[in-house]
């Protein structure tokens, strides 16, 4: 008894499949200058500095709230340090990604992104390791609340982007 392979139907064709595109639209149409400008006005890009600013403001708010609720300034400082553990590395990455080198070519942009992401992770880890020495007395729950809330405010920056539709 011999086993015969099944015919493969996953090859790439040079011809477009007639059913893949809606009727009347079979090729890619590049945007005109006016269409591209209209699209940019409708959906403006978000500055990484705006995201860092929102993270800093929310981190400061969480620290103030933690200090007011507990009545302990050390809890507020711990929450503030947790927020700073998000903001400082984010600001470093924003600075690196908005440099001239990062926008020279698509290849350098990709390498720059990976490099600055590694720097961001390394600085975050270093700050967390230094927390017990820098914040006395340290409240880990407050620090983690400040850290998590700071990381989760990207959606707030997205809402603040100001769409004009």
- pLDDT for 165 equals 45
Give the contacts of 65 (CB within 8 A, at least 6 positions apart): 79
Measured at the alpha carbon of residue 43, what is the angle toward residues 84 and 104, in degrees to the nearest 5?
Answer: 70
- pLDDT for 164 equals 45
- pLDDT for 143 equals 98
Q: Which residues of the chain have pLDDT under 50?
A: 163-165
Measured at the alpha carbon of residue 55, what is the angle toward residues 149 and 61, in degrees to the nearest 5?
Answer: 70
Decide if 74 contacts 134 (C-beta within 8 A).
Answer: no
Instruction: Determine the angle formed by the axes of helices 106-134 and 73-97, rounding to 10 degrees.
Output: 160
pLDDT in tens, 13-27: 555 555 555 555 556
Decide if 116 contacts 92 (C-beta within 8 A).
Answer: yes
d(CA 93, CA 67): 29
Neighbours of 28 (CB within 10 A): 6
Tokens of 28: 């890619």
């Amino acid at each position: 008894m011999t086993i015969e392979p099944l015919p493969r139907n996953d090859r790439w064709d040079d011809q477009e499949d007639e059913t893949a595109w809606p009727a009347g639209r079979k090729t890619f149409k590049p945007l005109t200058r006016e269409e591209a400008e209209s699209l940019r006005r409708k959906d403006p890009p978000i500055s990484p500095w705006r995201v860092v600013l929102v993270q800093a403001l929310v981190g400061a708010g969480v620290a103030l709230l933690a200090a007011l609720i507990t009545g302990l300034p050390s809890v507020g400082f711990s929450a503030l340090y947790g927020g700073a553990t998000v903001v400082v590395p984010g600001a470093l990455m924003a600075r690196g990604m908005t440099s001239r080198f990062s926008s020279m070519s698509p290849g350098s942009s990709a390498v720059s992104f990976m490099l600055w992401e590694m720097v961001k992770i390394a600085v975050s880890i270093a700050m967390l390791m230094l927390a017990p020495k820098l914040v006395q007395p340290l409240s880990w729950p407050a620090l983690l609340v400040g850290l998590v809330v700071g990381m989760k405010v990207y959606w707030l920056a997205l809402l603040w982007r100001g769409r004009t539709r």
